């Protein structure tokens, strides 16, 4: 039996563990050749500065997998499998190269975009030589490090905090911005902040969705934003879907927003049109 949810995704709530394991094995097998078969693609979601009088446009690169055999598979489903099997190292390198190639093309064509942001699994950061890999990719794609932001997904299991802290410092020294993704969920957020030097906090969208007046989440978002401000770093609210949310966040000195209100993730051509319109609001 399967239950259809509003979002259109099928959830089999009495699916046996055997079935689930079989599905994961199938995903793993097909994922192994996804890079070589050219089944991966990136979409770009705009991130905008929201403080009064501020202008700034980033793009978060988000991975999409259209498997020939399985159809489209959501990142929430295949990224954890890529992490547990180690495939994330190869896939993550593909993502970084693809994003940097795109950024290089955009910069050379004069597209007004400040940075491209790429998601990183902690597993990638723990690989010896990861900083060299980043350096090589930047050189080969002709990209400036100051056009790049890297997002560390906080929910990923961090086993070697010392290694990750050192790697992030080296990346930061290159001029790359470091963001902490999904901040506030998981259980080690504050201690992580203490151990890692980050430039940007991304507030998880679960807080933003319940940010209405008087809610606990509103108080928590306020606390997170004052932490960011005390540390002197920028903040990005994820999953902003309404004008009310945007106004509240602006009132609380949140510096940037991302979410369906501004735009859903876009393909390359759509993002290019978005960026041009953003800088030239007069054009239609």
* Binding partner selected for residue 112 from ligand C2E, Mg ion, none, CB under the kind-specific 5 to 8 Å limit: none
**Residues lying near ligand C2E in the complex (CB under 6 A):** 45, 62-63, 74-76, 79, 92, 95, 119-121, 151, 153, 181-182, 205, 238-239, 241, 258-260, 265
Decide if residue 83 touches Mg ion (CB under 5 A): no
Q: How far is CA 48 from CA 223, 235, 258, 278, in A?
A: 22, 11, 7, 9
Residue number with CB closer to Mg ion (119 or 121)? 119
* Binding partner selected for residue 62 from Mg ion, ligand C2E, none, CB under the kind-specific 5 to 8 Å limit: ligand C2E
Window 116-135: residues binding Mg ion (CB under 5 A): 119
Alpha-carbon span 65 to 95, nearest angstrom: 12
Minimum Å gap between C-beta 76 and Mg ion is 8
* Binding partner selected for residue 184 from ligand C2E, Mg ion, none, CB under the kind-specific 5 to 8 Å limit: none
Decide if residue 182 touches Mg ion (CB under 5 A): yes
Decide if residue 181 touches Mg ion (CB under 5 A): yes
Residue number with CB closer to ligand C2E (255 or 258)? 258
Residue number with CB closer to ligand C2E (95 or 201)? 95
Give 75's Cβ-side CA count (13 Å radius).
14
Residue number with CB closer to ligand C2E (53 or 250)? 250
Beta-carbon neighbour count of residue 17 at 10 Å? 7
Minimum Å gap between C-beta 149 and ligand C2E is 12
Residues in contact with Mg ion by the rule CB under 5 A:
119, 151, 181-182, 238
């Amino acid at each position: 039996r399967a239950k259809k949810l509003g979002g259109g995704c099928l959830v089999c709530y009495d699916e046996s563990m055997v079935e689930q394991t079989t599905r994961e094995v199938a995903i793993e097998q097909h994922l192994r050749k996804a890079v070589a078969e050219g089944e991966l693609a990136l979409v770009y979601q705009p991130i905008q500065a929201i403080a009064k009088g501020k202008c700034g446009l980033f793009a978060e690169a988000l991975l999409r997998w259209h498997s020939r055999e399985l159809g489209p598979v959501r990142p929430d489903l295949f990224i954890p499998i890529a992490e547990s099997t180690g495939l994330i190292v190869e896939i993550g390198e593909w993502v970084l190269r693809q994003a940097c190639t795109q950024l290089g093309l955009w910069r050379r064509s004069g597209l007004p975009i400040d940075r491209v942001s790429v998601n990183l699994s902690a597993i990638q950061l723990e690989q010896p030589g990861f900083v060299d890999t980043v350096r090589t990719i930047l050189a080969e794609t002709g990209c400036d490090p100051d056009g790049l932001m890297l997002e560390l997904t906080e929910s990923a299991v961090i086993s070697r905090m010392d290694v990750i802290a050192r790697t992030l410092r080296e990346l930061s020294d290159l001029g790359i911005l470091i963001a902490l993704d999904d901040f506030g969920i998981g259980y080690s957020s504050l201690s992580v902040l203490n151990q890692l030097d980050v430039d940007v906090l991304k507030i998880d969208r679960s807080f933003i969705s319940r940010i209405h007046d008087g809610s606990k989440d509103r108080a928590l978002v306020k606390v997170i934003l004052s932490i960011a401000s005390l540390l002197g770093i920028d903040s990005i609210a994820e999953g902003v879907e309404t004008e009310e949310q945007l106004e509240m966040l602006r009132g609380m000195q949140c510096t940037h927003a991302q979410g369906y209100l501004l735009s859903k993730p876009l393909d390359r051509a759509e993002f290019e049109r978005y960026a041009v319109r953003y800088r030239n609001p007069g054009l239609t």
